[in-house]
């Protein structure tokens, strides 16, 4: 997506005097390194970033915020609560904790950056300089989504100065709900994943697995088509299916168990290129259901940057543009998925395809995505300031 520039001088001036950034997230900073970390770590290079996570319930006697530092200026803030708090008590306590925290940290110029509308219940009384809603997923469609989420998202749309969406389909579904909404599909740290084009030393838990290897990394949850995974494993017992990532929101006992399916658990972002380098084909075996209607998998460009042929189920934001550009194989059934993997195995040395991938992704990067967002933010802050000044002059 191309954003009209507000001028290099304006963006530079904004970053030099950037307000603190306070993010409210349903995802934990140390869970899986993905969109929030890519974008927010870049803000942290220019100022203070506070990443406020959802509460943890433990044996603490009284509500308390635990703060811990990460690389750069990132501060991860985690509320800890005793068991037994009801919804109203929880929101009231979080509101009090934040009030005290903002005072202690002398937070008076700040931007609010929301990933979860649920945080609005205890943060709506603050007066940020700007409010951004980075709507990376349709959270209401996910398993165990809170009943209030849809109503709170409507409130957040009214409150937000800017709305970003994590994909084109999500933008198209929500574009009429806000007058300053922009699609920012998943991007890529190309240099990081391009390491996988080399013959990297294989991690111990993968080195012992014979080829050919087909792999997936990411969260393994209700979005995964487990029946498809089992069917592919049964159809080609000589293929080895590598599944990397934490299992959440589903019972691990539901995972299909086969001699050629290997669950290696979660891995760090830094470890992923080594695993990728040993794969022959990368997979996106997502189910087609309510929870995947609007997803825009970050791993699509990551797989491609690693030089790996990719096979995906017909996820809309994969079909468009990657499928239409013939960069990714799209398969709707288990039989088609097997055939697509067979085709992908012949593509590994296809230099024409590799060049098409490089050309398509030439201008894709998290740096560019973040810079486009900064341009919009700096422009909006200037517009808000001008509007306030005009109202004061009229008054």
pLDDT (tens, 9 = 90+) of the chain, 395 residues, equals: 444 444 555 678 889 899 999 999 999 999 999 999 999 999 999 999 999 999 999 999 999 999 999 987 899 999 999 998 888 899 999 999 999 999 999 999 999 999 999 999 999 999 999 999 999 988 888 877 788 899 999 999 999 999 999 999 999 999 999 999 999 998 999 999 999 999 899 999 999 999 999 999 999 999 999 999 999 999 999 999 999 999 999 999 999 999 999 999 999 999 999 999 999 999 999 999 999 999 999 999 999 999 999 999 999 999 999 998 999 999 999 999 999 999 999 998 899 999 999 999 999 999 999 999 999 999 999 998 887 767 666 66
The residues, ordered by sequence, that sit 6+ positions from 390 with a Cβ below 8 Å of its Cβ are none
- 371 within a domain of the structure (yes/no): yes
Same domain membership, residue 173 and residue 276: no
pTM for the structure as a whole:
0.91
**Helix (H, G, I), strand (E, B), or coil: what is residue 168?**
helix
- 178 within a domain of the structure (yes/no): yes
Same domain membership, residue 318 and residue 385: no
Q: Please give the C-alpha separations between residue 152 and each of 50, 55, 120, 123, 167, in angstroms, as whole numbers.
A: 22, 18, 7, 12, 21
Give the C-alpha separation, 390 to 395, whole Å.
9
- 240 within a domain of the structure (yes/no): yes
- 354 within a domain of the structure (yes/no): yes
- 334 within a domain of the structure (yes/no): yes
Same domain membership, residue 38 and residue 153: yes
Look at residue 6 in the predicted model and tell me its pLDDT: 46
Same domain membership, residue 196 and residue 51: no
What range does the domain containing 154 cover?
8-187+365-394
User: Looking at the chain, which runs of residues are DSSP E strands?
Assistant: 20-24, 49-52, 56-58, 64-69, 74-82, 110-114, 130-135, 162-165, 181-183, 213-217, 240-244, 261-265, 281-284, 310-312, 329-330
CATH of the domain at 124: 3.40.50.2000
Same domain membership, residue 323 and residue 180: no
Same domain membership, residue 202 and residue 65: no
Same domain membership, residue 182 and residue 195: no
CB 312 within 8 A of CB 330: yes
Residue with tokens 């008076």: 108
Same domain membership, residue 263 and residue 300: yes
- 2 within a domain of the structure (yes/no): no
Same domain membership, residue 148 and residue 67: yes
Same domain membership, residue 261 and residue 171: no
Same domain membership, residue 319 and residue 242: yes
Please give the tally of structural domains in the chain: 2
**Helix (H, G, I), strand (E, B), or coil: what is residue 317?**
helix
Same domain membership, residue 170 and residue 85: yes
């Amino acid at each position: 997506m191309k954003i009209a520039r507000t001028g290099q001088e304006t963006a530079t001036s904004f970053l030099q005097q950037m307000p603190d950034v306070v993010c409210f997230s349903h995802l934990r900073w140390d869970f899986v390194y993905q969109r929030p970390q890519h974008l927010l770590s870049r803000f942290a290079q220019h100022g203070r970033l506070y990443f406020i996570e959802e509460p943890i319930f433990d044996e603490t006697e009284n509500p308390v915020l635990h703060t811990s530092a990460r690389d750069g200026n990132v501060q991860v803030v985690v509320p800890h609560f005793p068991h037994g708090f009801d919804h109203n008590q929880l929101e009231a306590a979080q509101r009090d904790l934040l009030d005290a925290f903002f005072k202690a940290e002398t937070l008076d110029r700040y931007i609010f950056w929301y990933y979860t509308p649920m945080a609005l219940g205890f943060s709506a009384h603050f007066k940020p300089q700007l409010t951004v809603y980075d709507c990376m997923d349709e959270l209401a469609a996910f398993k165990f989504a809170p009943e209030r989420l849809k109503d709170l998202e409507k409130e957040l749309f009214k409150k937000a100065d800017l709305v970003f969406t994590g994909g084109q389909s999500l933008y198209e579904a929500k574009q009429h709900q806000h007058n300053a909404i922009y699609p920012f599909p998943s991007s890529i740290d190309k240099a990081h994943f391009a390491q996988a084009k080399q013959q990297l030393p294989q991690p111990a838990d993968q080195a012992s697995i014979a080829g050919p290897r087909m792999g997936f990394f990411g969260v393994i949850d209700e979005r995964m088509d487990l029946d498809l995974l089992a069917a592919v494993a049964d159809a080609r017992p000589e293929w080895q299916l590598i599944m990397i990532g934490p299992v959440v929101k589903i019972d691990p006992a539901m995972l299909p168990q086969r001699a050629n399916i290997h669950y290696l658990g979660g891995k760090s972002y830094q470890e992923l290129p080594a695993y990728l380098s040993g794969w022959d084909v990368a997979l996106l075996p997502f189910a087609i259901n309510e929870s995947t209607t609007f997803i825009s998998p970050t791993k699509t460009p990551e797989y491609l940057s690693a030089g790996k042929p990719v096979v995906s189920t017909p996820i809309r934001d994969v079909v468009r543009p990657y499928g239409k550009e013939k960069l990714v194989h799209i398969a709707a059934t288990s039989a088609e998925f097997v055939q697509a993997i067979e085709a992908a195995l012949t593509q590994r040395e296809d230099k024409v395809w590799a060049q098409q991938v490089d050309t398509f992704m030439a201008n894709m990067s998290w740096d560019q995505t973040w810079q486009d967002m900064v341009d919009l933010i700096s422009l909006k802050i200037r517009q808000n300031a001008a509007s306030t000044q005009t109202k004061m002059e009229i008054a």
